[in-house]
Amino acid sequence: MSLADAQQRVDTWVSQYEEGYFHPLTNLARLTEEVGELAREVNHRFGQKTKKQDEAEGDLAMEMADILFVLICMANREGIELQAAFDLMMAKVETRDRDRWTKKGGQVDRRAGGLADRRAGGQADRRSVHQADGWAEDR
């Protein structure tokens, strides 16, 4: 499903209700809540804070989908075409950051540390690269 299709699907769902889209500040609060839920799950899985024994396992994918839903609601309310915005953002980073990090084996792989690494069985740790080039400070 494209971002445009996702935006249309959300709009079709929201449009059936009198209330329509929430106010921007309400949506921002909702987005903050959803990001907090994702952060909690990431912390439980990968951080030092473990879950309580009786606490159910969370779902990272659903937490990310919740965030995407709220972002789509925000974009729809403001008339923003997410596909166009995403394409512009990718063109920016593909140009600006093209030579920022070390390419794998001379190949361009824009998913460093992501699916490509996991499929290859690697555990890429980009922190040392980010810290070495000041990435965290200049974002």
| Domain final position from 64, 85, 106 | 85
In this prediction, residue 138 carries a pLDDT of 43
Average pLDDT across each block of 10 residues of the chain; the chain has 139 residues. List them in order: 97 97 98 97 90 87 98 98 96 90 72 51 40 40
* Half-sphere exposure of residue 117: CA atoms within 13 angstroms, side-chain side: 13
Per the structure, the complete domain to which residue 15 belongs is given by: 3-85
In this prediction, residue 57 carries a pLDDT of 85
In this prediction, residue 14 carries a pLDDT of 98
Q: What is the CATH number of the domain that holds 20?
A: 1.10.287.1080
C-alpha dihedral over 99, 84, 70, 78, to 10 degrees? 130
In this prediction, residue 13 carries a pLDDT of 98
Q: Are residues 9 and 35 in the same domain?
A: yes
In this prediction, residue 132 carries a pLDDT of 38
The model carries a pTM of 0.71
